[in-house]
Amino acid sequence: MRPEEGTIQSRARAIQALLELIPGDVPVIICNGFPSREAFKLADRPTHFYMMGSMGMAAAIGLGLALAKPTKKVVVLDGDGNVLMGLGTLGTVGALKPKNFIHVVLDNEVYGSSGNQPSYARVVRLDQVAKAAGYAHVERVREREDLVYEFKDLLGKDGPGFLLVKVSEQAEDVGWVPLEPSQITQRFRKAIE
């Protein structure tokens, strides 16, 4: 199934809507490629962890953080290629059920950072996989107003929550994240102490 034309938003617009809703003290793990680069350009915060390599591991990093800081909400901004690569982690999250874990998947059905090669997300329903894995709340949205409503709802609920956001293939003109990785670690740890 392809996203319907006209009702879909770009990933950057979806990220912007999400960052406007995420309180400044809530840590956000952002997957590699365009999602990190777009998020950095839209709003850089010390509570952002920009994952540059280790594709597939954003959810696992977020899960470790959520388990280490059980009283703090943790948001992961992930992509469909990342989730397919680290699919086992949906099982780990579903089994451990961290209440403070919110997994947002920006699904453009392509490997957008490497030339828009099609991903299997166009046939594999990642929201249904998350549901079967044991996430407490699972939603799938396209339009901005649905995204805002469902994400606010997840922020207020016990998780783990999973929000699949269908987005277009459009990418912003953005460069690499110009931060030293070790600096990202240091400022992130300090910001969420």
Task: Check binding of 113 to another protein (CB under 8 A).
Answer: no
Q: Is 23 exposed, middle or buried (0-12, 13-18, 19+ CB in 10 A)?
A: exposed
Cβ 105 vs Cβ 89: under 8 Å: no
| Part of the chain binding another protein (CB under 8 A), chosen from 10-18, 89-97, 112-120, 166-174 | 89-97
Please tell me the count of residues contacting another protein according to CB under 8 A.
34
Residue type, 60: A
Task: Check binding of 132 to another protein (CB under 8 A).
Answer: no
Show the CA angle centred on residue 52, arms to residues 48 and 56, nearest 5°: 95
Task: Check binding of 92 to another protein (CB under 8 A).
Answer: yes
CB of 93 to another protein, least distance (A): 10
Cβ 86 vs Cβ 110: under 8 Å: no
Task: Count helices and strands (H / E) in the chain.
Answer: 8, 8
CB of 189 to another protein, least distance (A): 6
- Annotate each residue in 23-52 with x if it binds another protein (CB under 8 A) or - if it does not, as one string: ----x-x-------------------x-xx
Strand order in the sheet with 28-30: 48-50, 28-30, 74-79, 101-107, 161-166, 137-141
The interface with another protein within residues 173-192 (CB under 8 A) comprises 181-182, 184-185, 188-189, 192
The residue whose two tokens read 């793990």 is 29
For another protein, the binding residues (CB under 8 A) are 27, 29, 49, 51-54, 56-57, 60-69, 86, 88-89, 91-92, 95-96, 181-182, 184-185, 188-189, 192-193
